[in-house]
Structure 1
Amino acid sequence: MDDPAADPVMLERTYRRFALVNRVVSRPAAVYEEWVRPRLSATHRARMLDIGAGGGDLPIRILQLARRDGLPLEVVAIDPDERAVRACSRFDDPAFRPRIATSADLVAEGEAFDVVWSNHVLHHLTAPELGALLADTERLVAPGGIGVHGDIERGRGAYLGFWAATLPFAWNVLSGSYIRPDGLTSIRRSHTAPELARVLPEGWRVKRGFPSRLELVWGSEILR
């Protein structure tokens, strides 16, 4: 999917079908309950930044959950790939603002957010890029806010589980998309918890989740 020459029809189909897999693999409801909802208030319109927004289904689901609870939230979804931002733009929601940008761009603009979040971005980054993302996150998190970067944990169980779970859908629901091959490649390229723990700056921690999920977390209240 990172290839600029990727088939545009397959790419668009992939973005639209991400929600089918993300509900299970990325668990937006769990992300909302653990990391987002505690930062929301009925009297304050909170802001969330989604870095590497992909197809936009995850932040849209989090917005829906916040509305269900009567809690105002605005989401800014950024991606340097205009194809991803174009896919996000299919969601017509006044509280959802997709834009072509990087975390460094928002730091330069002086932006601040109650929640800074990314999903399945880390395994795309080189070591210097990871360091830059974490540094940008610290600058973008507002006082009392939190930064969370979720990804897959590399492992035989994760690979075989995804391979087996998606096999029955390879010739129907997932046909003509990059979801299955890209997902398997992503697992091979991802990190383990000990690997990330060794390179994290002070103030960050690794949290394991289900299924085969890692979260890098930064925020003053979690360190008490």
Structure 2
Amino acid sequence: MDLPGCDPDKLDRTYAQFAVVNRAVSGWRGIYVSQLRPRLRPGTPATLLDIGCGGGDVPIMLSRWAARDGLRLEITAIDPDPRASRFAAERHPAAGVRFRQATAADLIAEGLSFDLVVSNHVLHHLAEDELPVFLAESAELCRGRVIHNDLRRSPAAYALFYAGALPFTRSYIRQDGLTSIRRSYTAAELRAAAPPGWIVRRRAPFRNLLVLDRTAHG
């Protein structure tokens, strides 16, 4: 689905189905409750940046959970792919969420910063020399906590997704998901690749969280 010539209808179905898959297995509800919500205060607006937001389902979920808890969360969600940005802007209107076709470097050049920075399923897409740049940019954009949520490679994860994604044959979900699992890090590999100050936390099912607390490390 990263290729520029992929089928546009199939790609749109993939973005739409990501909402189902992410809600089921990406663990964002637990991340919101344990990592994000404790940093939000009633009556005090907080800002969050989602880097590589794809079809936009994760920022929409976060916005709705925060609103349900009486918390004000202003979200900027960016993706450099014009196809993803178009889908997100057209299909996911929500108060407090702004979608942009942009890169992290673009926002740094604009002098922006955010209380929280997150990403979902981005790390495994990066080449070895791209990872440190991505982490440095996300840290520069953040005043508080950075959380990169990604897959954790294992034979069990691959086998379970191979079987569980059979219903998603009319999109790129199954094909892309299996490739993503093969390319993802084990927890030990991610610890070795991450710069000092970043912490790897294993979460179920088959997740790695790569976390940087800017308030602790400056």
TM above 0.5, yes or no, is yes
- Whether 2:72 is the aligned partner of 1:72: answer yes
Question: In the alignment, what sits opposite 1:203?
Answer: 197
1:180 aligns with 2:174: yes
Give the total of aligned pairs.
216
Q: Which moved more, 1:31-40 or 1:153-162?
A: 31-40
Counterpart for residue 212 of structure 2: 218
Displacement of 1:118 in angstroms is: 0.3
SS of residue in 1 equivalent to 2:201:
strand
The 5 Å alignment of 1:147-186 reads 147-167=146-166, 169=167, 174-186=168-180
Q: Would the alpha carbon gap of residues 120 and 141 (structure 1) be closer, same or farther in structure 2, given more than 3 Å must change?
A: same
State the one-letter code of the partner of 2:105: A
Determine helix, strand or coil for the equivalent of 1:128. coil
SS at match of 1:175: coil
Counterpart CA distance in 1 for 2:19 and 2:28 is 10
Match of 1:105 in 2: 106
1:172-224 Cα offsets, whole Å, 9 max, x none, are xx23100011101100111111111112111101110011000110004578x
Write the mapping of 1:73-92 to structure 2, written as runs, cut at 5 A: 73-89=73-89, 90-92=91-93
Counterpart for residue 118 of structure 2: 117
Following superposition, the deviation at residue 26 of structure 1 comes to 0.8
How many Å apart are 1:43 and its aligned residue?
A: 2.0
Unpaired segments of 5 or more residues in structure 1? Answer: none
| Equivalent-residue separation in structure 1 for 2:44 and 2:129 (angstroms) | 36
- Structure-2-length-normalised TM-score: 0.95
AA matched with 2:53: A
TM-score norm. by structure 1 comes to 0.93
Q: Note if contact 2:142-2:214 (Cα within 8 Å) is conserved in structure 1.
A: no
Counterparts of 2:215 and 2:104, CA distance in 1: 23
Change (3 A) 1:80 1:125: same
Gaps of 5+ in 2: none
Aligned counterparts of 1:199 and 1:124: Cα–Cα separation in 2: 14
Residue 142 of structure 2 is matched in structure 1 by 141
Two-structure CA RMSD over aligned residues (Å): 1.3
| 1:191 correspondence with 2:190 | no
Distance in 2, Cα, partners of 1:35 & 1:139: 19
Identity %: 50
Is residue 131 of structure 1 aligned with residue 132 of structure 2?
yes
Give 3-state SS (helix, strand or coil) of 1:150's partner: strand
Q: 1:29 to 1:80 in 2, by over 3 A?
A: same
Cα deviations by residue, 1:148-191 (Å, 9 ceiling, x for unpaired): 11110111011001112223x2xxxx231000111011001111
Q: Is contact 2:152-2:181 (8 Å) kept?
A: yes
Question: In 2, distance between residues paired with 1:94 and 1:65?
Answer: 12
Q: Is the 8 A contact 2:139 2:214 kept in 1?
A: no
